[in-house]
A and B are shown apart, each in its own frame.
Chain A
Amino acid sequence: MPKKTSSPSEPTFEQAFKELESIIAKLENGELSLDESLALFERGQALAKQCGALLDAAELKVKQLSPDGELEDFNEEQ
């Protein structure tokens, strides 16, 4: 059952992970207003949760390049 490919509104794990890292770097640098810090913290928590959910939901999907250059689902049972 192929799920929809990642839409722009839904970041990939790597994007979310990277953003989380940059947020933490900013927070650890500590040159922000408290409001900014709290906003970043909330964003970071949301990202961490999202990353965890993405990891939990991950299920290997294999595609195969067909002779006419299309990507089709690969059935391992064949």
Chain B
Amino acid sequence: MAYGGGECVARSFHITIITSNIQLLISNLRHRLTHIPPSYTITPMPDTWTVSALTRYIRTTLETDYRLKELTVEGEISNLSRPASGHLYFTLKDSSAALRCVMWKSQAAQMIYRPRDGDRVEVRGAIGVYEASGQYQLYADSIHASGEGDLFRRFTELKAKLESEGLFDPARKRTLPLQPRRLCLVTSPTAAALRDILNVIRRRSPSLEVILCPTQVQGVDAPAQIIEAIHNANKLNPDVIIVARGGGSIEDLWAFNDEAVARAIAASTTPIISGVGHETDFTLADFAADVRAPTPSAAAEIATPDQSELINDLRDLSNRLIAAIESQIQDRRWALSAHIASLRGLSPRAALANSRQRLDDLNLRATHALQHRLELDRQRIEITTQHLHSLSPLAILDRGYAIVTRADSTEVIRDAGEVKKDETLNVRVSKGKFAVRVEKSLKENHA
């Protein structure tokens, strides 16, 4: 009981040893101070202490004691509180004493284990004094559930064993169905986890058929029941199975670290999603499952398609349906108008118009040909006329010749002996005729 007793060398103090009897402490300190050599005396002993000075002195004394700097205390947690600041406050107690403890946010946030009132724990830390309330307390660095070290070792060994067997092999993992119709829930019917899961499913996929396969999720009977429930669930031929349990201490979750449970999960014919404990809890069931969800609610989210997505999908399909039929009709409309156009090209009316045009064309060509022909004839006639003209006796008259005929006939006089005296003859010259009377015949010698 006495503070500063030489037997206090154990690493693990019992709380009653550091009881908060300040009176006793002060008398002890007084006693010790009188035995400190002068060179160690920092503050001269005042006749009357101020509260601050005394508290600071006590603080210094406690916080410089090496036995109080790194220690482990075992006890039961009570009055646990975790305000918004994130620091953790609790009292450790045993049957006859209590110790205020605080764990700062920085350490508390890193801690996987979540202490709860009533947990038996081992707390590691240093004793210090909070001057404002004159309270000494344990500043905790870490908290472990009593015996956790042992459980953790078993967990690690079992995990390594199953891993080496290939039980957790990613290649073994099956993909989950996109649209499950039937889902089996392996969990406790009374657990809050069940309510969380059902709420998620109700919100996301209310048309899903959900069958609860009840089982205990903690205690000695839990592993056998979980295995039985998984077996029964598989017989119901669901699309997916959720194995779930809400958060708890490592002991609470221990059924999910059972070797046979892990094997049953790995052997399930239906894909299994595990949702055991909190995000930070990893169990062998999680490793053996096809998908590990951080929480039961998350498992439900992973298992179910969001119905609002389904509604969107349905709307897309409806739009595609309408677009498809419209495009079908449009295609035919195009084809039809193309056919109408080609039909128009094949119509006899077009042929008729064509013939008419050819007729016009021929007509025109015939006219041209005829005109050309006429022109040629005209030219030929002209040439012939000129030729004829050059051959005409009248043309000779132009050169000064004259044609003499008898007055009463067209007989041409070629011989002067044919004419008689006083006979009237017609003389034709180039331009006109005139009558002459024969005076006398002029006989030429050569005639």
Question: Which chain A residues have a beta carbon within 8 Å of chain B's beta carbons?
Answer: 12-14, 17, 20-21, 23-24, 27-28, 30, 32, 34, 37-38, 41, 44-45, 48, 51-52, 54-55, 58-65, 69, 71, 74, 76, 78
Q: Provide the main secondary structure of the chain A interface.
A: helix
Q: Is the CB–CB distance between B211 and A45 below 8 Å?
A: no
| 6 A–B pairs (Cβ distance < 8 Å), ordered by A | A17-B313, A52-B314, A55-B311, A60-B206, A63-B211, A71-B211
Chain A residue at minimal CB-CB distance from B183: A62
Q: Given the complex of chains A and B, what is the CA–CA distance between A44 and B214 in angstroms?
A: 41
Q: Given the complex of chains A and B, what is the CA–CA distance between A30 and B325 in angstroms?
A: 9
Q: Provide the main secondary structure of the chain B interface.
A: helix
Q: Which of B202, B310, B325 contacts A38 (CB 8 A)?
A: B325
Q: Is the CB–CB distance between A64 and B212 below 8 Å?
A: yes
Chain A residues in 8 Å Cβ range of B328: 27, 30, 32, 34, 37
Chain B residues in 8 Å Cβ range of A14: 179, 181
Number of interface residues of B (CB under 8 A): 38
Q: Is the CB–CB distance between B317 and A55 below 8 Å?
A: no
Chain A residues in 8 Å Cβ range of B213: 64-65
Q: Is the CB–CB distance between B307 and A55 below 8 Å?
A: yes
Q: Which 3 A-B pairs have the closest CB atoms?
A: A58-B207, A27-B324, A58-B206
Q: Given the complex of chains A and B, what is the CA–CA distance between A10 and B332 in angstroms?
A: 35
Q: A37-B325, A74-B212 are in contact. List 18 more A-B contacts (CB 8 A).
A: A13-B207, A17-B313, A17-B314, A20-B317, A20-B321, A24-B320, A24-B321, A24-B324, A28-B324, A30-B331, A34-B332, A41-B324, A52-B311, A63-B209, A64-B214, A65-B214, A74-B189, A78-B189
Q: Is the CB–CB distance between B314 and A48 below 8 Å?
A: yes
